[in-house]
Amino acid sequence: MAKMRLAMRVEGSLWVAYHAWEGTMEHAIFLGSIRMAGIVNHPDRRAAFMELMRQMMADCIEDLTGQRPGWEGERPAPEIERGGNS
């Protein structure tokens, strides 16, 4: 069974969060974005944004399935998704 993931990508000057299927960005759902400079470079702000995006994704899954997901931890993105690649 395919798993859902929170995909965080750099797109231009933004850090963008998507709700996506594991292993692909096809049909990914945009959750939100934040300007990179001066905001996510601050560790507390970065952590707060990531937590907000996790909770938004969990809300979406809970709305669809009736169950709130847990988190397995962070893993590096596939190479194709790193560093602003599209």
Rg (CA), the chain: 13
Task: Give dist(CA 70, CA 72) in Å, integer.
Answer: 7
Segments making up each domain of the chain, as ranges: 4-70
Q: Say what the pLDDT of residue 52 is.
A: 93
Q: Say what the pLDDT of residue 85 is.
A: 46
Q: Say what the pLDDT of residue 17 is.
A: 94
Q: What is the pLDDT along the chain (86 residues), one digit of tens a residue?
A: 568 889 998 899 898 999 898 888 999 999 999 988 877 678 888 889 989 999 988 998 899 889 998 877 677 766 766 655 44
Q: Say what the pLDDT of residue 82 is.
A: 61
